[in-house]
Structure 1
Amino acid sequence: MVNILIISHSFKIAEGTKELAEEMKQADIDIQIAGGTSGGKLGTDADLIRQKLENMDSEDGIVVLADLGSAVMSFNMVKEWLPEAKQKKIKLADAPLVEGAVLGAVEASLGKTLDEVLAAIEKKSIINKNNF
């Protein structure tokens, strides 16, 4: 099954988002978080993001959701450090963090493919760029 990584500048936001997404999933998928810095402050930790991505099962793919632009930049940098085969199995969703995580958890737990989960997250998002 497709798994999910939530990246936030705040550990509490990442943890709460994971808790909500876990409640919505229909089957066992791995939802991991990389929230805050290693010192417990606000920010992103590239080493933590890398550790999570390296240790997550990516056979069916990993959808990544990030809260702010610098989290996206950290993710993109880390993704380049990974082997090319794994890079192809990891995709960043263009969607709000919480809503994307909940939609992703539901879709992934229904056995959808990586591209199907990503498309559902981006299409069904209430705050979709096409709505403005």
Structure 2
Amino acid sequence: MVLVSHSRAVAESVAALSGALLGSVDPAPLAVAGGTPDGGIGTSAELITAAARTVDEGVGVALLCDMGSAVLTVKSLLGEEPSPLPEGTRIVDAPFLEGAVAITLTSAVGGDIEAVLAAAEDARGYRKR
């Protein structure tokens, strides 16, 4: 999984919380692509591509975006021919924090890319009242 955020600090914090909630389960590969290469706020195709390649194990990579231009940047990368992203890379339609937790847990217990996407997208329907 790659957490794509406008802020490196936000992506790293969500990654840390997701990992902490696993308990004794070993996490699946996770990388963050937050902010710009110079440390600013924004998104970077270069950082996203590098992070996706870092976690790629040949079974698909889930990219979870925080909002707006992060989604547009990922969609642009997926639409390139050939795409610079690893084969089987997919964008996840889920809330950032809840989706990250669902992906982390599902992938850590051996879920394939389809199970990971489904678990994350189910997080969208979780009601808080």
Gaps of 5+ in 1: none
SS in 2 for 1:125: helix
Alignment equivalent of 1:7, drawn from 4, 10, 14: 4
Per-residue CA deviations over 1:67-105 (Å, capped at 9, x if unaligned) read 111001111222335268x34x11111111111001110
Are positions 1:20 and 2:17 aligned together? yes
Q: Tell me if structure 2 keeps the 8 A contact 1:58–1:90.
A: no
Q: Which residue does 1:119 correspond to in 2?
A: 118
**Structure 2-normalised TM-score?**
0.85
Measure how far apart 1:43 and its partner are: 0.3
Q: Tell me if structure 2 keeps the 8 A contact 1:60–1:113.
A: yes
Q: Tell me if structure 2 keeps the 8 A contact 1:67–1:97.
A: yes
CA shift in 2, pair 1:115/1:18, >3 Å: same
Gaps of 5+ in 2: none
Calculate the aligned-residue CA RMSD, in Å.
2.1
* Structure-2 separation of matches of 1:27 and 1:83: 28
* Structure-2 separation of matches of 1:49 and 1:101: 16
Per-residue CA deviations over 1:45-88 (Å, capped at 9, x if unaligned) read 1111111123322412111110111001111222335268x34x
* Structure-2 separation of matches of 1:69 and 1:34: 15
Q: Tell me if structure 2 keeps the 8 A contact 1:95–1:127.
A: no
- 1:49-60 matches, within 5 Å, as 49-60=48-59
Q: Tell me if structure 1 keeps the 8 A contact 2:11–2:32.
A: yes
Are positions 1:82 and 2:79 aligned together? no
Structure number with higher relative contact order (C-alpha < 8 Å, ≥ 6 residues apart): 1
Q: Tell me if structure 1 keeps the 8 A contact 2:27–2:104.
A: no
* Structure-2 separation of matches of 1:108 and 1:19: 16
In structure 1, what residue type is equivalent to 2:9?
K
* Structure-1 separation of matches of 2:63 and 2:84: 17
**Structure 1-normalised TM-score?**
0.83
